[in-house]
A and B are shown apart, each in its own frame.
Chain A
Amino acid sequence: MNEEDMSEQAMSEQEEKNLADLLKQSIAPVNRELDRDLWPQVLRRLDQRSADPTWFARTWFAQTWLARTWLASMFSAHALSSVPWFDWALLAALVVGVCVFPNSIPVWLYHF
């Protein structure tokens, strides 16, 4: 380490110290002593988790409910009758294309 590097390092250490002093004077000190027992809260937290249905079950229920609702709204008679004829034609063309060229399925999947 040459002289210039050493003086630069000493300067940055001094700046770090100055900054630390300023922060200590500006940031409010906090009381680090815990003045009550938190065990009852931890127990309550543990009890809540064990009483609840599991996260997976709740998520699965929510997802299946959403999926059923979405499917029902998508394929209701009213929804189907409101689709324009041109979209049906496009869908039919897609189905025919896939039947004739099954190798194109990965390409379609990629684009969807």
Chain B
Amino acid sequence: MELLEQSPELLEQFAAGELQAFEALFRQFQSEVYSWVVRIVRDPAAAEDLTVETFWRIYRAHARFDPARSFGAWARRIATNVALDHLKSSAARASQLSDTLEPEATPDSVTYNPAVQREVRERTQLAFRQLPPKLRVIATLALIEEQTHGEIAAALNLSTAAVKSRLFRAIRLLRRKLGNLDTKP
């Protein structure tokens, strides 16, 4: 997310709860927040709802915002939490529906890389979706979206060491699952 500079007056007005200041910040950041959320949840429709949820939480927490700090980084942290909550609830719903997850049949699943065999792709998707949400977020951002450990740490409010540790666990789990599925990277 591009961290744009905002005028201190605007941030102070927002912290005081002024709706116009909130709207100005919303206009400036809605695309960046959406882009960040959709990278994590990988579902454009859900990402729109989660962007609205993020800004609702941002407005609700306006009194806790420190105008001396970056609004963009704060918004990204809240967006990450919202996306993580979504992944957790989706995982809970999926486990209620079925003990064993079936590979997701996305309509464009054959279009993004025909070179990878369908079976390998489905097994990789399955292994990826079976990761615990906390590890999946980090695996998505680090391995697919190529975000730096520092950026991920800032977004998740974790230390860089914690991000590395979780990434290591995610990779180990993925390797184990892909090994169980007889599909080694």
Do A and B associate with each other?
yes
Give A contacts to B, CB under 8 Å.
15-16, 18-34, 36-39, 41-42, 45-46, 49
B53 nearest in chain A by CB position: A45
**Alpha-carbon separation in the docked complex, A68 to B173 (Å):** 51
Decide if A27 touches B42 in the complex (CB within 8 Å): yes
Residues in A neighbouring B115, C-beta threshold 8 A: 25
Given contacts A38-B30, A45-B56, 20 further A-B contacts (CB under 8 A): A15-B171, A18-B185, A19-B174, A20-B143, A20-B144, A23-B124, A23-B143, A25-B121, A26-B113, A26-B116, A26-B124, A26-B128, A30-B47, A31-B38, A33-B31, A33-B35, A34-B35, A38-B48, A39-B30, A42-B59
Does B125 lie at the interface of the complex (its beta carbon under 8 Å from any beta carbon of A)? yes
B56 nearest in chain A by CB position: A45
A9 to chain B, nearest CB (A): 12
**Alpha-carbon separation in the docked complex, A18 to B55 (Å):** 37
Partner of A15, one of B56, B59, B185: B185
B35 nearest in chain A by CB position: A32
Decide if B106 touches A28 in the complex (CB within 8 Å): yes
B152 to chain A, nearest CB (A): 14
8 contacts across the A-B interface (CB closer than 8 A): A15-B171, A19-B171, A19-B175, A26-B128, A28-B108, A38-B30, A39-B27, A45-B52
Summarize B's interface: helix, strand, loop or mixed.
Answer: helix
Chain B interface bracket (under 10, 10 to 19, 20 to 34, 35 or more) = 35 or more
**Alpha-carbon separation in the docked complex, A20 to B108 (Å):** 20
Decide if A32 touches B39 in the complex (CB within 8 Å): yes
Decide if A25 touches B116 in the complex (CB within 8 Å): yes
- Given A29-B112, A46-B56, A22:B185 Cβ within 8 A: yes
- Given A38-B52, A39-B23, A45-B52, A26:B121 Cβ within 8 A: yes
Decide if A16 touches B23 in the complex (CB within 8 Å): no
Residues in A neighbouring B113, C-beta threshold 8 A: 25-26
